């Protein structure tokens, strides 16, 4: 059997032959041209949030593409696009034979959407993570409906708080005193008044972006057994996203004092309480930012640096001392992460591959840092 010419070669065979050409020979495997330098980590999560299928125009797991080029699927924006954009950019750079001083690693991690506790939070503590010697990371951002691209340099800290109120039970027809519901209502009012204050602060200052103020939503109410039985226990759950400049100790004391002010038997517990917000500098003192922003400038991409309103795996990466930017190269795209009909235009997706193809060489060629020489 004769082998086919290169133009007919099976793409898997071509990939195999490319891999064989990389001289990963021990004891000095050639992973990057200067393995003494720290590496670039491209992180993405593989899990997605659930769907309400009846609200979708197309099956959310079919990746239907309409006649205009919009691809509908859960994960189209958050963040399966980014995983493939990384891979395609790296593939393109490899095919073109580029080599860079710094190694580029890609991680595809689970469980981000449920807090990352079995995913990136554990992984950053593992020797396998330290062996990557990451000096800088890219992770997910959020689409931007305008011409500009959003880039996140920090995140709000998720605090998931359950307030439990206990009080006197009794017959639903009586004016029972000191009920769980009355006291819970007081705490809910205090917290929703705080919510309104933060909302007004955001509304009244055009320079403030969503991630710069603290948000809270009442997301669960539990308790009660029957219409005519006053329950002894009721609870309310809140999703707080605490801005990075907040005094965390004072804020926790504030929460405690709202509970105390509501009366006896009102307590709070945390289902999630992130305490280590970090900020990745966005000025030229940060060589990673300098490289990132220079490429964007060269490509005429306008950047909007912001604090991520939600939480991503970047918080774990930054907390172990690795600077990270949250960036999904998606402009002119409505923000539809976690929403019905999440979709992405194929042209935006492809443009994102071009963007990474320019960004990665610059990041992987950042000269040795003072700490690396």
Q: How far is CA 130 from CA 37, 278, 326, in A?
A: 13, 19, 21
C-beta of 113 vs 354, nearer to ligand MET: 113
Note the residues at the interface with ligand MET (CB under 6 A): 112-113, 115, 158, 272, 310-312
Q: How far apart are CA 315 and CA 220, in angstroms?
A: 25
Neighbours of 206 (CB within 10 A): 7
Report yes or no: 136 and 215 within 8 Å, Cβ to Cβ. no
Number of residues this chain uses to bind Zn ion (CB under 5 A) = 3
Number of residue whose CB is nearest Zn ion? 78
Residues 136-155 that bind Zn ion (CB under 5 A): 140
**Which residues touch 35 (CB under 8 Å, ≥6 apart)?**
28, 29, 103
45 known ligand binder: yes
Return the CA Rg of the chain: 25
Catalytic residues: 47, 112
**Torsion 118-81-61-12 (CA) sign:** negative
Q: Return the one option of Zn ion, ligand MET, none that residue 295 interacts with (CB less than 5 to 8 A, by type).
A: none
Least Å distance between CB 342 and ligand MET? 14
Report yes or no: 135 and 262 within 8 Å, Cβ to Cβ. no
78 known ligand binder: yes
C-beta of 213 vs 311, nearer to ligand MET: 311
Q: Return the one option of ligand MET, Zn ion, none that residue 311 interacts with (CB less than 5 to 8 A, by type).
A: ligand MET
Q: Return the one option of ligand MET, Zn ion, none that residue 115 interacts with (CB less than 5 to 8 A, by type).
A: ligand MET
Q: Residue 370 in 3-state DSSP?
A: helix
Q: How far apart are CA 268 and CA 187, in angstroms?
A: 10
Q: Return the one option of ligand MET, Zn ion, none that residue 158 interacts with (CB less than 5 to 8 A, by type).
A: ligand MET
Least Å distance between CB 315 and ligand MET? 9
Annotated binding site for Zn(2+): 45, 78, 113, 140, 338
Binding site residue list: 45, 78, 113, 140, 338
């Amino acid at each position: 059997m004769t082998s086919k010419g290169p133009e007919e070669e099976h793409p898997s065979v071509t990939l195999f032959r490319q891999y064989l050409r990389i001289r990963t020979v021990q004891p000095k495997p050639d992973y990057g041209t200067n393995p003494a330098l720290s590496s670039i980590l491209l992180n993405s999560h593989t899990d997605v949030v659930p769907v309400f299928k009846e609200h979708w125009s197309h099956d959310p797991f079919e990746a239907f593409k309409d006649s205009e080029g919009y691809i509908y699927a859960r994960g189209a924006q958050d963040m399966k696009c980014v995983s493939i954009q990384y891979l395609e950019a790296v593939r393109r750079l490899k095919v073109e034979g580029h080599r860079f001083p710094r190694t580029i690693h890609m991680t595809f991690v689970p469980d981000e959407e449920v807090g990352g506790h079995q995913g990136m939070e554990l992984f950053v503590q593992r020797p396998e993570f330290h062996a990557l010697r990451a000096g800088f990371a890219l992770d997910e951002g959020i689409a931007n409906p305008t011409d500009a691209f959003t880039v996140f340099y920090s995140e709000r800290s998720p605090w998931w708080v359950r307030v439990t109120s206990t009080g006197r039970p009794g017959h639903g027809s009586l004016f029972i005193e000191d009920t769980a519901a009355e006291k819970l209502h007081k705490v809910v009012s205090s917290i929703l008044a705080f919510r309104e204050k933060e909302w007004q602060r955001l509304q009244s200052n055009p320079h403030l972006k969503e991630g710069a103020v603290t948000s809270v939503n009442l997301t669960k109410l539990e308790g009660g057994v029957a219409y005519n039985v006053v329950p002894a226990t009721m609870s309310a759950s809140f999703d707080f996203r605490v801005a990075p400049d907040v005094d965390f100790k004072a804020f926790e004391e504030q929460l405690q004092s709202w509970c105390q002010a509501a009366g006896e038997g009102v307590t709070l517990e945390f289902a999630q309480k992130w305490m280590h917000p970090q900020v990745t500098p966005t000025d030229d003192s940060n060589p990673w930012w300098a490289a990132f922003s220079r490429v964007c400038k060269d490509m005429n991409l306008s950047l909007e640096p912001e604090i991520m309103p939600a939480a991503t795996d970047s918080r774990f990466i930054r907390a172990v001392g690795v600077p990270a930017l949250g960036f999904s190269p998606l402009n002119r795209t409505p923000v539809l992460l976690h929403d019905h009909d999440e979709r992405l235009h194929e042209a935006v997706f492809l443009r994102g591959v071009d963007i990474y193809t320019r960004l990665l060489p610059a990041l992987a060629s950042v000269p040795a840092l003072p700490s690396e020489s």
